Structure 1
Amino acid sequence: MAKRKPVLAPYHSFTKAQWSALRADEPMTLTREDIARLRTLSDPISLEEAEETYLPLTRLLSFYVEAIQGLHNVSTRFLETPDQKVPFIIGVAGSVAVGKSTTARILQALLQRWPSSPKVDLVTTDGFLHSNKVLAERGIMERKGFPESYDRTRFVQFLSDIKSGKGQMQVPVYSHLVYDVVPGSEVTVDRPDILIVEGLNILQPGELPKDGRPILFASDFIDFSIYIDADNDDLEAWFMERFFRLRETAFKDPTSFFRRFAEMSETEAGEFGKMVWRTINLPNLLDNVLPTRGRADLILKKGKNHLIEDVKLRRV
């Protein structure tokens, strides 16, 4: 009987305890107050969870940054080109309501407190969404968050400019309160040492041209990518939890796009929230977001309580 060839696993797998041990002597530089300020409404992360999950990650990232910088130095010596700072770009991907924003903000705070005090900027892809006016004109208002709802050309150009060392780059601002890009409002990204990019579809490769013509995707500029994973049922529960919390807070703002949901009965609001999840967020997750999970360098899998249960680190 012929022996089966071993299947090459693309990832190293770690239990929470195994991953936490890789922290080594990395010091915790955040306080409980910092964590409370950085976490989002529906992500009950604790200081202990941040220590166990993100300190090993920041230690790993320090090695990656050093390696990428070394590779860049070799390239500049070979090409005899002027040496210039090339930002290290970290991508954070995953479903709506999985906790991408919390992960990105905690990473930014921890990386800023490295002994070298690097300049760490954070941008979200929300700013690169087409305006509601454009989405309405194209008939895709109900597909906000899907790949076609973003100005992908502008986003790729932004990443290209950042990697090229350009300064004073302007990023559009998206307001979740008014549910639209804010006209004339921008934030400046000026030659960071590290840039964290958080968004739903940042790992999507897109379609390659059949003639073999070179084409760039956003993922081509990312030096290290993180995918926050969770079961679909848990994601729906977290989305609904966040929806109801917003209904009691931000939705009550008279300027909020979602003001009418605060005036609905709890039953009506619940039915609407579930409809949004099942007709928009879940299809986008299944068709566009989840398929990119296997492209990530690191996968952090959450359990029902939002705590990381296991970690996978790409080996190939």
Structure 2
Amino acid sequence: MDAGELIEAALALTPEPGGRFLLGIAGAPGAGKSTLARLLVTELRGRLGPDAAAYVPMDGFHLSNAQLARLGLSARKGSAPSFDVWGYLTLLRRLRAHPASEPVYVPDYDRELHEPVAARHVVAPTTRLVLTEGNYLAAGAAAGPGWAEVRAELDAVWFLATPDGVRDTRLLARQQAGGLDPSAARSWVDANDHPNGDLVNSHLPHDVRVITLDAV
């Protein structure tokens, strides 16, 4: 499937003005979820108007480095317990409370700061398609408490299946861009990113649409 087909599929899910649809894009680390979600939002805004679609990254609910240290999770950053799943769930429920009269501000994760940042994105009251993406959106209870409730708030979930070798190359480049030397990047990807990906890849419910793209 190419990007054009996915753009058309997202358009087909977008309700008429006055409605709202929450689409989740799941996948293992390095699958290309954020790139795809941003592409779809840009294309839908270009066709339907600047507020028609909005980007809501799950990564904005990373726990801060201080909280990860307090919980002993610094070496497992990116694992399901290293997210504020209940905060993310509350946001999704706010977004479902539509029609809304006020904008909803959405946090993001900053790869230069290595910390979450508040209110980088906004969902307008007139937004019709919300695109949220993250590793654990399809995993449900297998990812731990709260994730089944997250899945229940989404109208549909797409799972982006990307070859392991492609993901590995991307993840190594990501860690080195973040400041790790090649050896430390290799250790991080093997000890953290790949186990997280194994959990995600091994829990695909029947109602999730699996998609593949040559490049995202």
Do they superpose with TM above 0.5?
Answer: yes
Residue 275 in structure 1 maps to residue 209 in structure 2: no
Q: 2:123 maps to what in 1?
A: 189
Q: 1:24 maps to what in 2?
A: none
Q: Deviations over 1:39-88 (max 9, x none)?
A: xxxxxxxxxxxxxx12222323333335xx6xxxxxxxxxxxxxx93421
Q: Secondary structure at the match of 1:206?
A: helix
Q: Deviations over 1:78-134 (max 9, x none)?
A: xxxxxx934211111112222112111111111112356652110211111111111
Query: Is the alpha carbon distance of 1:270 and 1:117 closer, same or farther for their aligned partners in structure 2, counting shifts above 3 Å?
Result: closer
Q: 1:112 maps to what in 2?
A: 45
What CA distance in whole angstroms lies between the structure 2 residues aligned with 1:119 and 1:177? Answer: 29
Q: Deviations over 1:121-159 (max 9, x none)?
A: 102111111111111111111111111111111111111
Aligned length: 208
Residue 229 in structure 1 maps to residue 141 in structure 2: no
Q: 1:298 maps to what in 2?
A: 209
Q: 2:109 maps to what in 1?
A: 174
Asked whether the 8 Å contact 1:202–1:218 carries over to 2, the reply is: yes
Q: 2:7 maps to what in 1?
A: 58
RMSD: 2.6
What CA distance in whole angstroms lies between the structure 1 residues aligned with 2:186 and 2:194? Answer: 10
Q: Secondary structure at the match of 1:285?
A: helix
Q: Secondary structure at the match of 2:72?
A: coil
Quote how far apart the aligned CAs of 1:160 are: 0.7
Aligned residues: percent identity? 19
Quote how far apart the aligned CAs of 1:180 are: 1.2
Q: Deviations over 1:204-223 (max 9, x none)?
A: 2116xxxxxxx961111222
- Structure 1 portions without partners, runs of 5+: 1-15, 17-52, 70-83, 208-214, 252-257, 262-268, 309-316
What CA distance in whole angstroms lies between the structure 1 residues aligned with 2:84 and 2:50? Answer: 33
Query: Is the alpha carbon distance of 1:240 and 1:122 closer, same or farther for their aligned partners in structure 2, counting shifts above 3 Å?
Result: same
Which letter does structure 1 place at the counterpart of 2:107? P
What CA distance in whole angstroms lies between the structure 1 residues aligned with 2:161 and 2:148? Answer: 26
Asked whether the 8 Å contact 2:14–2:20 carries over to 1, the reply is: no
Quote how far apart the aligned CAs of 1:233 are: 2.8
Q: Secondary structure at the match of 2:47?
A: coil
Asked whether the 8 Å contact 1:86–1:164 carries over to 2, the reply is: no
Asked whether the 8 Å contact 1:226–1:296 carries over to 2, the reply is: no
Residue 132 in structure 1 maps to residue 65 in structure 2: yes
Query: Is the alpha carbon distance of 1:237 and 1:205 closer, same or farther for their aligned partners in structure 2, counting shifts above 3 Å?
Result: same
- Structure 2 portions without partners, runs of 5+: none
What CA distance in whole angstroms lies between the structure 1 residues aligned with 2:62 and 2:49? Answer: 34
Residue 164 in structure 1 maps to residue 97 in structure 2: yes
Which letter does structure 1 place at the counterpart of 2:53? V
What CA distance in whole angstroms lies between the structure 2 residues aligned with 1:243 and 1:101? Answer: 16
Q: Secondary structure at the match of 1:114?
A: helix
Q: TM-score scaled to structure 2, two decimals?
A: 0.83
What CA distance in whole angstroms lies between the structure 2 residues aligned with 1:113 and 1:106? Answer: 11
Rg larger in structure:
1
Query: Is the alpha carbon distance of 1:195 and 1:206 closer, same or farther for their aligned partners in structure 2, counting shifts above 3 Å?
Result: same
Q: TM-score scaled to structure 1, two decimals?
A: 0.59
What CA distance in whole angstroms lies between the structure 1 residues aligned with 2:112 and 2:22? Answer: 28
What CA distance in whole angstroms lies between the structure 2 residues aligned with 1:280 and 1:111? Answer: 34
Q: Within 5 Å, give how 1:1-316 maps onto structure 2.
A: 16=1, 53-66=2-15, 85-115=18-48, 119-165=52-98, 166=100, 167-182=102-117, 185-187=118-120, 188-191=122-125, 192-206=127-141, 217-244=149-176, 246=177, 251=178, 258=179, 261=180, 269-287=181-199, 289-295=200-206, 297-302=208-213, 306-307=214-215
